[in-house]
Amino acid sequence: MKDKVVLITGVSSGIGKAIAQLYADKGAHLVLASRNLDALEKLASALKEKTSEVLIVQTDIANSDDCKKLVSETISIYGRIDLLINNAGISQRSLTMDTNIDVYKTIMDINYFGTIEITKLVLNSMISNGGGQIAVISSVVGKFGFPFRSGYSASKHALHGFFDSLRAEVSDKHIDITIICPGRIQTNISVNAVTKDGSKHNKMDKGTAEGMAVEKCASLIVKAITAKKKEVIIAGNEKKLVWLRKFIPGIYYKLVARVKSV
């Protein structure tokens, strides 16, 4: 990956930040995108000790102009994008009946529409440059539904439909698509999750706190991308729900119906 141009969204913390650190170790030219400019600047400062090239672009991927600026600025400086990692996203902690419809729209704008807009913008460059790779951080709940996360789960299911379709469409254009489905990872995903009225959850889920270390998750993600896997699940015992949903759905339905709190 030395001197390859790697664009990563949602790098201010968690999985995105850990992935950026690993690609810096590999000598990649990094383009880092996040809404949090202060976090971007701090991360870039730390990573410049590992790699000479770090470009930061403050980006709200729910904003179309920001998406266009991110990609155009990257192309104007480097002339290409070798690897796009769509990591930016937001989770949810609220019951469907209680949740304002605008909250669902916000989740879709960030997790789905923002992600596919950046992807479409990057595709043009990759095709003209002879190929590339696109990775998207989905979730195990992109494979099954789970209480208190209906909007989040729906947005991740949408990503699977989009990127599976895209993979088929660009199979003859030397573009590889990797869908990554993390389970419970030790990040602030539950803290930053939106609730029924759009406010932050501001609580750490027990399962998240006891989940896989973010460094291990990031390492497995990079390995999957390097191996050009089409899809990979990175999770602990929760990945068993994927298997149950597919092969013994009756048991899956009973198990998730027992979940009565976030």
pLDDT in tens, 49-94: 876 689 999 999 999 999 999 999 999 999 999 999 999 999 999 9
Question: How many CB atoms are located within 10 Å of the residue 33 CB?
Answer: 30
Nearest to 143 by CA among 130, 152, 151, 153: 153
Percent of the chain with pLDDT over 70: 99
What is the torsion angle, in degrees rounded to the nearest 10, for the CA atoms of residue 2, residue 3, residue 8 and residue 12? 80
Model confidence at 260, in pLDDT bands (50, 70, 90)?
A: confident
Residue 262 lies in a domain: no
Percent of the chain with pLDDT over 90: 93
Q: Is the pLDDT of residue 234 over 80?
A: yes
Q: Is the pLDDT of residue 262 over 90?
A: no
Return the minimum-mean-pLDDT range out of 47-61, 82-96, 181-195, 248-262. 47-61
Domain count, the chain: 1
Residue 115 lies in a domain: yes
Residue 62 lies in a domain: yes
Instruction: Tell me the per-residue pLDDT of 136-168, one tens digit each, with 9 for 90 and over.
Output: 999 999 999 999 999 999 999 999 999 999 999
Nearest to 183 by CA among 155, 130, 128, 146: 146
pLDDT at 211: 93
Burial class (CB in 10 A: 0-12, 13-18, 19+), 204: middle
Residue 27 lies in a domain: yes
CATH, residue 147: 3.40.50.720
pLDDT at 2: 81
pLDDT at 50: 78
Exactly one of 23, 152, 252, 253 is catalytic; which is it?
A: 152
152 in catalytic set: yes
pLDDT at 49: 80
Domain span including residue 207: 5-257
pLDDT at 218: 98
